Structure 1
Amino acid sequence: MLFKFQKESYHMTKTHGGYSRTAPSIALALCCMAPCIALARTGAQRAAGTSPLQTVAAAEQSLHNSGIDITGYYQGTLYANVGGGLKRTNVYFSDLAFGANFDLAKLAGIPGAQIDFSIDSRFGGFPQGVNDLTGSSVGFLSGAGPDNRARLTELTFSQKLAGGAFSYVLGRTTLANYFGTSSLYCQFESSLCSNLVPFNWSADSNEPFYPIAVWAGEIEIDPTQRTYMKLGVSESNPSQYGGGGFPWNNGWSFKNATGAFVPVEFGYTTETDGSKMPGRYDAGFYYDSSNFADARYNATGGRLAFTGGSPARDGAQSVVYLQAEQVLWRAGAAKGARRLWGFAAGQFAVEGHAPVASYYQLGAVMQGTFPGRPHDTAGISAAYYVFNQRVTGSLNDVIAANGGTGHMSNTEAVFEVNYGIALEHGITLEPYIDLTLNPDQFLFDVPSPNPNIRHALAVGTRLNFGL
């Protein structure tokens, strides 16, 4: 299932050149096959109550028993900006990912060890995503950007020791995918399956987000079944956004690293001990030692929009965050019972001049929406951003320098409602509506921000195929 895959690995999460000719054909074929797969069954399969995809699931189980898990998904997204924003148009973009997890305990007799490998390929639509349609840099769309190419997204060695109480991961990966995570975020097009809105992490640090992998390591200690603490470190390397499909051409070295990204997280969870009303609560902190450029002022104190020059340097940046998720209601005692989850999160800059000064998120996800629809989902979320005054001040300077008037809002809100229709084993179709208030207009070099753009309304649907 896609939901399970993204929750557990956060990779192929968790945004092409080498597959540009074949991948669109695969995507088109999968889209055309979806209704046929859901309806076309042989008489024997009907009698046995199995479908072709359930047969695939059985094959997956056989490989799993031998120590190999094949992972992958295709995600196709139709996105249309129908009101407000910068452009009224629509776009269809695709995300195709595949890989394998190798259980070294079964394959090589190494207790608790595993090798994970994955590749992500993105194609179609606009390589930079759809943010230049709405004018919002924070309304990141899963499956879009940072460019169209195939990427190595993970090549790691991990091991669990002491009965799982101690574990570590080393290799090429995206460290942000291990911190501030929640599978509930996978429900939303305006979020991402890996962590608290990736724009926050990439703006307030130089740590790349999925699918960009750099050298990283993480350790986790679980003092009790319900508590954990983890620490990580990776290179801060924003050059990988546009240059790193695979780690050659200096990709294996630290040549372009700007510093070190160090996250820490402490958490309490009842999600793994059989609780009927599970929940998870955590608090974290991350620090980036990079010397960040100022958004508004140059090295001599002048305003960049008027006098140009090199940006001033503001030193390192650090952020704290809080997360909570809890089952609020359930129907039935079985494992597949219908459940309503609530979640909330906050993120706050504490050092430097991080672009996102504070962030607040609130939402709910229903798993099993109606009797007889145990695999359908529904979600609603609201996110509120408060930007650093130097960011909005720099936009106001650009407006004035270009002879305009007006001021940009220092806050932005994003709302989403969606419904996930389970069509077959591993196939879902998810229509959504996305409303943005006060699009910020500062990520994609808008020549002259327009303070009169106060909203953007988008609609669309997302098609998921998952192994």
Structure 2
Amino acid sequence: MAITSARDSVPAARATAIALLIMAPVMASAQGTAETAPQSGPLQSLATARQQLKTDGIDITGYYEGNFYANVAGGLKKTNVYFSDLAFGANLDLAKLAGIPGAMLDISIDSRFGGLPQGVNDLTGSSVGYLGGAGPDNQTRLTELTFGQKLAGGALSYAIGRTTLANYFGTSSLYCQFETSLCSNLVPFNWSLDSNEPFYPIAVWAGELKVTPTRQTYFRIGASESNPQQYFGGGFPWNGGWSVAHATGVFLPAEFGYTTEHTGALYPGRYNVGFYYDSSQFTDPRYNAQGGKLAFAGGVPASDGPQSVVYLQAQRVLWRSGNAKGARRLWGFAAAQFGVSGRAPVKSYYQLGAVMQGTFPGRPNDTAGLLATYYVFNQRVTGAVNDEVAAAGKSGHLSNTEAIFEANYGIDLGYGLTVKPFIDLTVNPDQFLFDVPAPNPRIHYALAVGTQLNIGL
């Protein structure tokens, strides 16, 4: 049995997206306030049915995300592109459905279509830039199939199955505000560059254990197969997607955190420190096994062994207006990531940002975000790119640092619809990309603009 990829079924996927657009008021009305939700008619009936399903233990989830992206100055290519991401699934409360105390079964599927087959990173020349359009390719994937359970009143929980483990480490909901990041964790490209742990939506075999000794503290550990082969597999059992034959090692993360978000604090915050280790034997980006430079001598890359990284995160409400649930709040956040062992391509990474929730009086659901990120690449990564420049007969060198800045504004249209225009500036694009055969050292920046349309349940 075979499943067709989203690339082969774009008309059907577009039709589904259009249907979601039409049905957005239906999907969102179940979460609407008493003032916005319809009081009668078919919309209210469908909203009531969805709420009843949730009450019975079946929580339907999903979203459609449409992205328009244009590189308008600098970079490698000046062009624009529109691409789509459609996800849907369900969280099944097995305590209600099957009488298993504290148990959940989570299922989700992601379908990507439109845009460019390789994503959009070769427009700016940044390998760690605009992640929402990174792909990895147009396919329909199983992104989550996990069984989990909370024990001891929630003090102990675990989950096991098919998932992207990195989504649950180094996370913050504030990252979901930005286009140059990805709605899951500390810049997933760092995780996948410095390990072989795939990023969303690629799911592999994994498990996680979380201990919550107090309301303010937690500790979580996990284990996942490192399997970069899955980037171009659909991830379904009938096309070999569940095989571990191509696993390169084991990805092992751990994290300790402290939070005041559930204590009623006027200025809540969250702070954590984490570590991950990948047992894969990573290849050197610049040198072959004999010590020669790959760009000139070719050959088999040298082995650099396993890699490990530590990271730190902090976020806190800096200002607020009002104490009600819809209070306007200004969040500040900062994070850093450092290579510890091996030759991780991203040697260190720093980010600093702010998100305003409720930008103006009367606009409680609008958001505004500012983000600055700074990368320091391993000298062998930059050296490999500079070798490619020299091998192509060009002169000049690329910087081993890169900075990306973003500003955006999320406009809440009601019924689960949000439109978010954004602008981002990349300084010194690294050009560490497979589809850039001849890097150009004269490219020092890229300026991009765009808009995201999001419809969520």
TM-score by length of 1: 0.92
Deviation per residue, 1:398-431 (Å, 9 max, x gap): 1111111000111000000000000012110000
- Equivalent position to 1:334, from 324, 333, 349: 324
- Equivalent position to 1:82, from 72, 75, 78: 72
The 10-residue stretch of structure 1 (399-408 or 21-30) with the greater mean CA deviation from structure 2: 21-30
Unaligned stretches of 5+ residues in structure 2? 1-5, 29-34
Aligned match of 2:196: 206
Aligned match of 1:12: none
Aligned match of 1:364: 354
Once residues 116 and 22 of structure 2 are traced to their aligned partners in structure 1, the CA distance between those partners, rounded to angstroms, is 22
Once residues 355 and 124 of structure 2 are traced to their aligned partners in structure 1, the CA distance between those partners, rounded to angstroms, is 25
Matched, 1:437 2:408: no
Q: CA deviation at 1:445?
A: 3.0
Q: 3-state DSSP class of the match of 2:312?
A: strand
The 10-residue stretch of structure 1 (439-448 or 257-266) with the greater mean CA deviation from structure 2: 439-448
* Contact 1:324–1:343 under 8 Å retained in 2: yes
Q: 3-state DSSP class of the match of 2:11?
A: coil
Q: How does 1:173-212 map to 2 (within 5 A)?
A: 173-212=163-202
* Contact 2:120–2:133 under 8 Å retained in 1: no
- Equivalent position to 1:223, from 191, 213, 221: 213
Once residues 344 and 185 of structure 2 are traced to their aligned partners in structure 1, the CA distance between those partners, rounded to angstroms, is 18
Once residues 16 and 234 of structure 2 are traced to their aligned partners in structure 1, the CA distance between those partners, rounded to angstroms, is 24
- Equivalent position to 1:316, from 291, 306, 310: 306
- Equivalent position to 2:287, from 297, 305, 323: 297
* Contact 1:268–1:282 under 8 Å retained in 2: yes
- Equivalent position to 1:242, from 232, 235, 240: 232
Once residues 77 and 103 of structure 1 are traced to their aligned partners in structure 2, the CA distance between those partners, rounded to angstroms, is 33
Q: CA deviation at 1:275?
A: 2.0
- Equivalent position to 1:461, from 448, 451, 454: 451
Q: 3-state DSSP class of the match of 1:60?
A: helix
Once residues 400 and 45 of structure 2 are traced to their aligned partners in structure 1, the CA distance between those partners, rounded to angstroms, is 53
Aligned match of 2:246: 256
Once residues 51 and 280 of structure 1 are traced to their aligned partners in structure 2, the CA distance between those partners, rounded to angstroms, is 43
Once residues 227 and 123 of structure 1 are traced to their aligned partners in structure 2, the CA distance between those partners, rounded to angstroms, is 40
Q: 3-state DSSP class of the match of 1:171?
A: strand
Q: 3-state DSSP class of the match of 2:126?
A: coil
Unaligned stretches of 5+ residues in structure 1? 1-15, 39-44
* Contact 1:127–1:144 under 8 Å retained in 2: no
Q: 3-state DSSP class of the match of 1:283?
A: strand
Q: Which amino acid aligns with 2:400?
A: N
Change (3 A) 1:353 1:263: same
Deviation per residue, 1:87-141 (Å, 9 max, x gap): 1110000000000010011111111100000000000001221101111110133
Change (3 A) 1:56 1:74: farther
Once residues 230 and 211 of structure 1 are traced to their aligned partners in structure 2, the CA distance between those partners, rounded to angstroms, is 21
Matched, 1:166 2:156: yes
Aligned match of 1:73: 63
Aligned match of 2:338: 348
Aligned match of 1:375: 365
* Contact 2:353–2:372 under 8 Å retained in 1: yes
* Contact 1:216–1:234 under 8 Å retained in 2: yes
Change (3 A) 1:46 1:316: closer
Change (3 A) 1:46 1:196: closer
Deviation per residue, 1:137-171 (Å, 9 max, x gap): 10133254000010000000000011100000000
Change (3 A) 1:216 1:246: same
Aligned match of 1:3: none
Q: CA deviation at 1:389?
A: 0.1
Aligned match of 1:277: 267
Once residues 95 and 48 of structure 1 are traced to their aligned partners in structure 2, the CA distance between those partners, rounded to angstroms, is 28
Matched, 1:267 2:257: yes
Once residues 80 and 55 of structure 1 are traced to their aligned partners in structure 2, the CA distance between those partners, rounded to angstroms, is 41
Change (3 A) 1:77 1:297: same
Aligned match of 2:391: 401
- Equivalent position to 1:117, from 94, 107, 114: 107
Q: CA deviation at 1:228?
A: 0.3
Q: CA deviation at 1:450?
A: 0.3
* Contact 1:53–1:425 under 8 Å retained in 2: no
Q: CA deviation at 1:277?
A: 1.3
Compute the RMSD of aligned alpha carbons: 2.1
Q: How does 1:7-46 map to 2 (within 5 A)?
A: 16-17=6-7, 19-28=9-18, 30=20
Change (3 A) 1:263 1:46: closer
Deviation per residue, 1:208-244 (Å, 9 max, x gap): 0000000000000011110000000000000000123
Once residues 46 and 368 of structure 2 are traced to their aligned partners in structure 1, the CA distance between those partners, rounded to angstroms, is 27
